[in-house]
Structure 1
């Protein structure tokens, strides 16, 4: 190969690695996003080809997922457009049980012949795997739903909004940041539409149309004289909504401490970019925190990440059982703790629940990727560990006979497996605002937004930072802090939770790219909470060296 050609191909490969796997697919013109795709009657006919072929080859169970994944990504920096990407991925994945063993295959040849070949391959894989399978797969029963559909209740489909309008909004946010003291700013808009059709030999034919959106940016301010810089990221949350999240149709802004806007069902990226530039400049002269014990007031955009890492991941049943040990570790929340019936995961006011039905959440769907109707269930109730997250072939291991409906695959060509649902903290039952909470703190720190973090392979010992920090003295915010991180372990931290604001403060954090599995897949998940207080938590100074 010529050196020039090698460098070109290597560059393309590096670029692909930089793009999240969720956005890989065939590049398409923007108008192709509006193509309606395959007719639902055709999907049913082709899915039946897979199911009937699987039966004829000896499969005792089969499901087929026809998926069309549409993505749009817009990226800008200062006054320039960096990239506009439109992708489409289309194909079918077929999963079977033969001789008590799973087999899976997929193809982008969505024709009768292509589907028959892929199904034959899935059955062959299952038969080969059955040679070393010790125990047959046990599936929890599921209702046959017939022909049903579900759609994210969007009010404005992102695909119908001109790219020029999206670019204009991002550049407007960039200009607002620059006008208020930022030296650099980049902004991005991720938009996803999953069109998924599921069919199984148990009699379900489920059509779903799922939408997600994520606006974000990063602002940097520089003090050249002092030779230092500070950055502030967006306080947006990815949402399971349409473009109305950005155009104010569902406007609801809460007034937060220190001039922060707390966004719930809409997001004003220009307003947030304006404040971000001012705060980045303020950070340049912020007081460095004195290490010690503090009461922490954690807002939902920050607390969501802590929930994700210290509750969501350790309560995945496959991780608890050791199936994820090679890639992602195990869990401190072992089965013996659950079986005891009295393991104190948190204080009495801590109620953590899993839910794939929450409106506006990233994980909201009507049915999971093995045809189970989604629901809500308790993980921790009154501080006590109550349950895990499990799917059809797992729940018998915890003496349950109903899947939790949290099976997911990132694409048609990936096998579905247990993924984290939305995991959230219930708001407090008594009326209590964030401003009242701050008034009740003598020595504390208010933390908003996500930052760097570290947690051990059992999801127990951890350290979390944030985006912005404010010192609280005698019930008042007295100024910005810098170099803040808190350290704890999961059980100690959640048992230090002493107060939770009411539902009027309830908001969601989310992640588009939660990774898991080998080969790795990403999924989108949200975590809701109200602002919460954790007493006597150890805070370190990340800027000081020993």
Structure 2
């Protein structure tokens, strides 16, 4: 999957096809999703077989992941259902260290005999790798937790909701859009349940039940006279929640120029607003290029955080492990070692975490059996840390992993993946309205759009969904064809104000791609509405 594909599944009619192949598994009847799968006692027995077989063949460390992955994708267009996919994938992945090197093997034949054989293959792979190793793996110490469990705190399991109810919701969303005057609309509900059991020679036996949900739509309106068209995507988020996310409450609504949502989502209201937005976008004047103060809504800023903060602080990227596929990072180790690299203004505080309720990255333990937590990446504008896992921790002087290891399925080896990375809200009371009052010449940007960023995550360009011009502290009306350009350090040093915690919201990516062979993971990024001064804005409709 191309990295740019992660933003959203813009062609929702082909939405299921845009997801990683592992997500499909074997087609099953949706009633199977309500089965509990194999008993946790049986999982422990299978895990012990693998661990003992690996140690018997010479492994000094081994871990086992028994995974059951359930996926449901319901996609519609206008008045019809395009696709309903229900899949299940089940198998075992075994990772070992032998002769100082990693080895990995997997099987979907989940019997004691086949699991033992897979463990032996993993050791054989490690020993083969050891013949060309530069230095042995240095694994940060990790305590064993014994038998523990963790579950996404959901209220309604999405898989218990009948497919008909999901179809009815999506078709009602489409109907509302068509009645609002749009020409085309597609919508989808994507649901994932990862049932993961982890065991290791450190003495952990961890059972986790992880749920994610992504309701989304895209509307298009055409001006028949000119042939021009405008689009607007859903402002809902992919979330680490159950179906309750689609039942918005009064306290979840953030009203203003455009209606947004905090913890839950009203899909019908959003699509009605989207129909109005595309009508206004068709009539809106094109932006005049120049320097503007930008007011960036969390529905937009999450993507800028993802690309310009979260990716460049991945330690494997910093070390060059990703250079062949998706670039490196300008945040090299010398900048971190100096202890004073000026990443942004003093208002910029960015935290990595795997705990925030409702976020896509929230789990109790990562795929190395490390209990998850939080840590600073940028503190008062200064680079202070990276994202590291067990075999990277020693490189930056850590005595433990930060718990951000992940594999997209039982068939893939786990490696360093991005945790939730979020800009912290302002400490002083500040509303969005108050922020706008202080802007003489600016643009208020809502929703994520197209983007481009270089291989070091330094020079970039970002678009959006909806744009409002600000003149002398007031909203002057909608404009279009807006994108801003900057480099990462310049941009974050232009951060001049951040709204307080009452405005804090999450955005995120359901399938962020990385690695060769490629894998996807889900991650959220939070912020409050934020102001950036003097940013270069271009007109995307003008020919150069």
Which of 286, 291, 307 is 1:293 aligned to?
Answer: 291
Over residues 45-99 of structure 1, what are the superposed CA-to-partner deviations in whole Å (9 max), with x where a residue is unaligned?
0000000000100100000000000011000111111111100000000000000
2:141 aligns with 141
Over residues 109-141 of structure 1, what are the superposed CA-to-partner deviations in whole Å (9 max), with x where a residue is unaligned?
110111011111100000000000111101111
Rounded to whole Å, the distance in 2 between the matches of 1:21 and 1:236 is 25
Q: Secondary structure at the match of 2:246?
A: helix
Rounded to whole Å, the distance in 1 between the matches of 2:16 and 2:206 is 32
Rounded to whole Å, the distance in 2 between the matches of 1:168 and 1:431 is 42
Over residues 140-167 of structure 1, what are the superposed CA-to-partner deviations in whole Å (9 max), with x where a residue is unaligned?
1112100000000000000110111111
The unaligned stretches of length 5 or more in structure 1 are 1-13
1:386 aligns with 384
Rounded to whole Å, the distance in 1 between the matches of 2:373 and 2:135 is 29
Is the 8 Å Cα contact of residues 250 and 266 (structure 1) preserved in structure 2?
Answer: no
1:339 aligns with 337
Rounded to whole Å, the distance in 1 between the matches of 2:29 and 2:529 is 43
Is the 8 Å Cα contact of residues 16 and 73 (structure 2) preserved in structure 1?
Answer: no
Is the 8 Å Cα contact of residues 250 and 265 (structure 1) preserved in structure 2?
Answer: no
Is the 8 Å Cα contact of residues 496 and 533 (structure 2) preserved in structure 1?
Answer: yes
2:362 aligns with 364
Moved over 2 A (4+): 14-23, 247-251
1:427 aligns with 425
1:224 aligns with 224
1:38 aligns with 38
Task: Pick closer, same or farther for the CA change 1:16–1:217 going to 2, 3 Å.
Answer: closer
1:525 aligns with 523
Q: Secondary structure at the match of 1:429?
A: coil
RMSD after superposition: 1.1
1:531-542 matched pairs, under 5 angstroms: 531-542=529-540
1:474-493 matched pairs, under 5 angstroms: 474-493=472-491
Per the TM alignment, residue 204 of structure 1 is displaced from its structure 2 partner at its CA by 0.2
1:106-125 matched pairs, under 5 angstroms: 106-125=106-125
The unaligned stretches of length 5 or more in structure 2 are 1-13
Rounded to whole Å, the distance in 2 between the matches of 1:202 and 1:249 is 45
Rounded to whole Å, the distance in 2 between the matches of 1:36 and 1:337 is 49
Per the TM alignment, residue 281 of structure 1 is displaced from its structure 2 partner at its CA by 1.1
Task: Pick closer, same or farther for the CA change 1:86–1:17 going to 2, 3 Å.
Answer: closer
Per the TM alignment, residue 24 of structure 1 is displaced from its structure 2 partner at its CA by 1.8
Residues 1:278 and 2:272 aligned together? no
1:165-176 matched pairs, under 5 angstroms: 165-176=165-176
2:416 aligns with 418
Rounded to whole Å, the distance in 1 between the matches of 2:405 and 2:332 is 21
Is the 8 Å Cα contact of residues 508 and 523 (structure 2) preserved in structure 1?
Answer: yes
Is the 8 Å Cα contact of residues 91 and 412 (structure 1) preserved in structure 2?
Answer: yes
| TM-score, length-scaled by structure 2 | 0.96
Per the TM alignment, residue 268 of structure 1 is displaced from its structure 2 partner at its CA by 0.5
Is the 8 Å Cα contact of residues 235 and 301 (structure 1) preserved in structure 2?
Answer: yes
| TM-score, length-scaled by structure 1 | 0.96
Over residues 514-545 of structure 1, what are the superposed CA-to-partner deviations in whole Å (9 max), with x where a residue is unaligned?
00000000000000000000000000000001
Is the 8 Å Cα contact of residues 363 and 421 (structure 1) preserved in structure 2?
Answer: yes
Is the 8 Å Cα contact of residues 153 and 241 (structure 1) preserved in structure 2?
Answer: yes
1:262 aligns with 260
Q: Would you say how many aligned residue pairs link Structure 1 and Structure 2?
A: 531
Per the TM alignment, residue 250 of structure 1 is displaced from its structure 2 partner at its CA by 8.7
Over residues 434-484 of structure 1, what are the superposed CA-to-partner deviations in whole Å (9 max), with x where a residue is unaligned?
111111111000000010000000000000000000000011111111110
Q: Secondary structure at the match of 2:386?
A: coil
1:125-136 matched pairs, under 5 angstroms: 125-136=125-136
Is the 8 Å Cα contact of residues 406 and 417 (structure 2) preserved in structure 1?
Answer: yes
Is the 8 Å Cα contact of residues 21 and 522 (structure 1) preserved in structure 2?
Answer: no
1:180 aligns with 180
2:11 aligns with none
Is the 8 Å Cα contact of residues 70 and 192 (structure 1) preserved in structure 2?
Answer: yes
Rounded to whole Å, the distance in 2 between the matches of 1:29 and 1:308 is 36
2:503 aligns with 505
Task: Pick closer, same or farther for the CA change 1:462–1:221 going to 2, 3 Å.
Answer: same
1:455-466 matched pairs, under 5 angstroms: 455-466=453-464
